[in-house]
Amino acid sequence: MTYEHFLCTRFNISLYGKSQKVVGGNPIVPEEWMQSRMVLWERYCVPSVYNQSNQNFTWLVVFDPKTPKSYIERATAILHPKHEVLFGTNFRSAIKERIGKPKEDRLITSRLDCDDALHGDYIKRVQDFMETKGKTGILSLPVGWVWDIRKHKLYHCRYPRNPFLTLIEKPQNKVHTVLAHRHTKISDMFRVHRLEGGHNWLQIVHGENLANYCHGDQVAESKLVKSEFGI
């Protein structure tokens, strides 16, 4: 059975729109946001992707078309040649247009926010499941860490509908991708498989999150083995 695996990351779509989002009661200033987010992306997200024990995937990072050239050049210089910078005003549409009509038996798409990180075996675990089980549907690795880097607080979190879900599908008739719905709702659309064991993802809480907050059981910060996430 053949398959193709895409890791999908939304960077700053709609950042330059007329209606600015708000963090802590203050409107987002695009330039300030980009400077801060690039640092988070480079410090946590990028190393975790490059730390994957299985590199058989393509990372698609989607930017708003109005993103200043300097940031695009910076991102392109960081990415491996097999990974790609895309542009679009709609995350799902940009990903679907890039994927097109796959020729493989299975299509795998996984989510990763630009300020978060994956365990080094995340891609391996997903593809091992695909090769062993061959099942389609949502694949949830429900356990991960939530780390408040400002307050140095770490939380053990079990969250089956987390933002790190994967969709395995047969793309011959229609391509959905894991972006077919919000991560909190997409499990209602497809059969769900759960892979237990380990801490498979790292959600970073840094003060500029639109929705993230600390949840789970607080543990000693030393419990986090940073090298497992490439940081």
| Positions of E strands within 15-162 | 22-23, 26-27, 58-63, 84-87, 106-111, 117-118, 137-140, 143-148, 153-158
- The whole model's pTM is what? 0.93
Model confidence at 178: pLDDT above 60: yes
Q: Which two tokens stand for residue 31?
A: 């330039």
pLDDT digits (tens, 9 = 90+) for 29-73: 889 999 999 999 999 999 999 999 999 999 999 999 999 999 999
pLDDT digits (tens, 9 = 90+) for 2-37: 999 999 999 999 898 766 666 666 778 889 999 999
The enclosing domain of 150 has a CATH number of 3.90.550.10
Domain membership of residue 95 as a residue range: 3-229
CA dist 231 and 219 (Å) reads: 19
Read off the pLDDT of each residue in 75-86 and give the average, rounded to a whole number: 94
Residue 39: per-residue pLDDT: 96
Contact 110, 6 (CB under 8 A): yes
pLDDT digits (tens, 9 = 90+) for 105-149: 999 999 999 999 999 999 999 999 999 998 999 999 999 999 999
CA dist 163 and 199 (Å) reads: 14
CA dist 82 and 197 (Å) reads: 30
- Higher-confidence position of 183 and 215: 183
Contact 149, 224 (CB under 8 A): no
Read off the pLDDT of each residue in 167-193 and give the average, rounded to a whole number: 89
> What domain count does the chain have?
1
